Amino acid sequence: MGHISTESLLPPNNKGARKMTSRIQNVFIFSIAFCATGSAIAAVPEKHPHKVTPQKTAPLRDASHQAAENVVVIAGMATANGVTNTTPGGGLMPPQTDARAQSGITRDYIAKQAPTSNVQSLIAALPGVVAARSDPLGITGDSLSIRGFNERETGYLFEGIPVADPLAYSPYTNIIVDSENMGGVTLTQGAADISAPLYNAIGAQIAIRAIDPARHFGGYVEASGGTRGANKDFIRLNTGEIGHTGVSGFASFSYTRDDSWHGPGGLRRYHTDAELVKSWGTGSNAKIWFSYNNSMWNPFRVPTMAQWQTYGRGLNLSSTYTPGNTLYYKLNYSATNALILGAPINFHLAKGLDLHLTPYFTDFFGPSRSGQNISNDNSNYGTTSAGPLNLPYATNGIVTTQAVDPWIQLTGGLSTWLGWKYKTNTFKIGYWYAYTNHTERQSFTPVDYEGNSANNAGRYAIVMQNGRVLSGYDDTIRQQTNSIFISDNLKLLNDKLNLSAGLKTTMVSRWATDLVTGATPYRSARNYFAPMPQFSASYQIDKKNQIYIDGTTAFRAPAGSFVQIFSPSSKVPITQPGTLKAQYSIGEEIGYRHTGLWNVSLALFNYNMTHRQVTSSAYIPGTTNLVSSSLDAGGQTSRGVQVEVGLRPWHHFSPYLSGQYLHATIDNNYQVGSDYLPTKGKTAVLSPKFTGTIGLQYDDGFLFGNVNIHYVDSQYSTFMNDQAIHSYVTSDMTLGMRFRNVGFAKHPQIQLNLINIGDNNYLSGISGFGGAAKATKGIYGTTIAASTPTYVIGGGFAALVSIGAGF
């Protein structure tokens, strides 16, 4: 690329040129100001946004939900990526009216974050959210907690489609949708919507929506590059209205890669999104969504506290191979592929009568791979001997292998409701059905003396003399879900008083079979049922002030292992099928909202729950294969208060503040075998007392940027509160400039994202939990052995430069 002079980017008129030249000179002042305090930022000379020629665009549903390639002109601002600079708090505080604690983000915020970000890292600034980033750019999935509940206790919806693993509840947030196609996210910190197709949302609901296609042909292109070889290339093509059908759509493709920020290996990701939209009549519309993702990455190791204190970030996979080294990075990687199809449809049948349908299909599949040493002569298949395996590349009778887990999970479902509005009353009745089929058979392939696995060529699983494939688990799991709800909403006092009540019942049936010899039971079946009443009331004091209360219930069918898991090194199973009871929660909230120049949201909350399920991960001994299981922590009480404050853009500035105080305690002693650890009254795991974010955004149409500082208090990893991760502070920054049209490029811009600016060296989250970190005497006198919690290493510093434009 040749040299581009500053003059080539200036408006053609002299007055505009003088203004833009002045702004370019102020970029350096602006950058320094963002690194300082808010008052220092305020010292930057105010400039009026450069004038633009308004262009016709399609009508927008709302400012945060338009197609990014539309040239948006609001208050003199023109952008190609959907930014309007109208949301309070710089896109972190869209107005909310539902009678419950609720927060959100819009394009005003999403478009200014690193384009590699996933939804968990994007909502990190919202009250109660702790995003435990293991990857600073958000390319891989992160751990998350909201009000002390982790990501597997949170419901994830994309365009009304449940997109988490329906059995283990792992969210696939890094593979659902590209951030460039993300229109907004709504976070409900309490229980889920009564109509939501979810049965695990004890802690929160995260609803993601896509942008709308533009009405005119065009598109958007963006290229990014940064530290450790990171880059992302993105292009979206917009069909515009197809003929005179009223149908419009878009299709996009992206390629992402990076090198691991610590240790060898990296990530490769290919992703495509496509959407068609049609509206007709009054209130009738239909959408078809398609996305496909193919990604592969080398996982980060999760250290114990002793390993963290000894090695810090140096605890990594190995970059070189020697026989017996199962940590060689080429043996350890995860491949996650996903196909998502959905068709949300709304029919306006008659006056006051509406029907909503969302049929969907998801296909998630692996494989995941890890290193494992097995014996040539003394390996086992379940509870029996595997016999002589006669494998090549043995050293002292031991063969290094690559364990392959080619899991496949297919789910089809239909979520529907019928609504009838008569005068001030709205009645709804709904039904959700889903069916999941999950198959998973582990296999092993030998590794030669150079560390090459035959499976890399797609062949050669180790077969025993009886002709069966050597495996630690060979299971099929089927699940059927039926859910029914009814609700009624009544508006009184000139619509100022809003009363809602409803009842939801959910039935989950599971069947699992395990073909490994000696697996007990060979076949298992479990059924879960829960009634979940809800109530809420809100009162609109005036146009700017609202108060509300709500009472909700929620349940979570147990997750974790549904069959026994074996290892060739032992005839004793490593894990047992889960026998937990469903988790049930009762919650109450009372809140207040104020909207205007200053926007304030305040909520007090209380939860009481039984059979609190804590998801914990641990390595299969001698391997790098992480297996999750659920721990029954018993009863728990959680109380707290959350607050948000955001300013509408004022002289181009939009400050934001959020915070939460949480007091979560264990209500009973924790059972270990036939004894109990004295945990009653202890602080619940994963429950930081204080969390908060301070943010500030500046956007005058040409120059823009933001800074966010996050604080997370210490968090316990054991029920006995004898091990914890320290509190930490991280800060992120964005700086950017937009320009006038350059040839066919509409409003090109350049953006710099800086993540974890101080390169804070910290543990960001907890992977594996335990009863106590040291041997402890139970209440009946038994010495209960210590457990070994594991942790997530927080992502280090990263920088990413992005250049994008519409066309």
**Identity of the amino acid at 386:** A
What's 595-625 look like in SS3? CCCEEEEEEEEEEEEECCEEEEEEECCCECC
**Does residue 69 register a pLDDT over 50?**
no
Q: pLDDT by residue (tens digit) across 624-633? A: 888 888 899 9
> Could you tell me what percent of the chain has a pLDDT over 70?
89
**Does residue 381 register a pLDDT over 80?**
yes
- Cα gap 100→675, rounded to integer Å: 41
- The predicted model gives 213-220 an average pLDDT of 93
Domain segments of the chain as ranges: 1-47, 59-210, 218-792+800-806
Band (622; pLDDT cuts 50, 70, 90): confident
Band (164; pLDDT cuts 50, 70, 90): very high
Q: Which residues, 6 or more positions from 343, have their beta carbon under 8 angstroms from its beta carbon?
A: 286, 287, 288, 289, 357, 358, 359, 360
- The pLDDT assigned to 470 comes to 95
Q: pLDDT by residue (tens digit) across 649-700? A: 999 999 999 999 999 999 999 999 999 999 999 999 999 999 999 999 999 9
Give 626 or 401, the one with higher predicted confidence: 401
CATH H-level, domain 59-210: superfamily: TonB-dependent receptor, plug domain (2.170.130.10)
- The pLDDT assigned to 455 comes to 66
- The pLDDT assigned to 577 comes to 80
- The pLDDT assigned to 513 comes to 94
- Cα gap 315→305, rounded to integer Å: 12
Class of domain 218-792+800-806: mainly beta
Q: pLDDT by residue (tens digit) across 41-60? A: 333 333 333 333 333 333 33
Q: pLDDT by residue (tens digit) across 100-155? A: 999 999 999 999 999 999 999 999 999 999 999 999 998 887 789 999 999 999 99
- The pLDDT assigned to 61 comes to 39
Among 402, 401, 400, which residue's Cα sits nearest to residue 367? Answer: 402
- The pLDDT assigned to 484 comes to 98
Query: For residues 480-504, b (16+ Cβ closer than 10 Å) or e, as one string?
Result: ebebebebebebeeeeeebbbbbbb
| Average pLDDT of the chain, as a whole number | 89
Tell me whether residue 684 is exposed, middle or buried, using C-beta atoms within 10 angstroms of its C-beta: 0 to 12, 13 to 18, 19 or more.
buried
- The predicted model gives 382-397 an average pLDDT of 93
What's 117-178 look like in SS3? CCHHHHCCCCCCEEEECCCCCCCCCCEEEECCEEHHHEEEEECCEECECCCCCCECCCCCCC
**Does residue 172 register a pLDDT over 70?**
yes
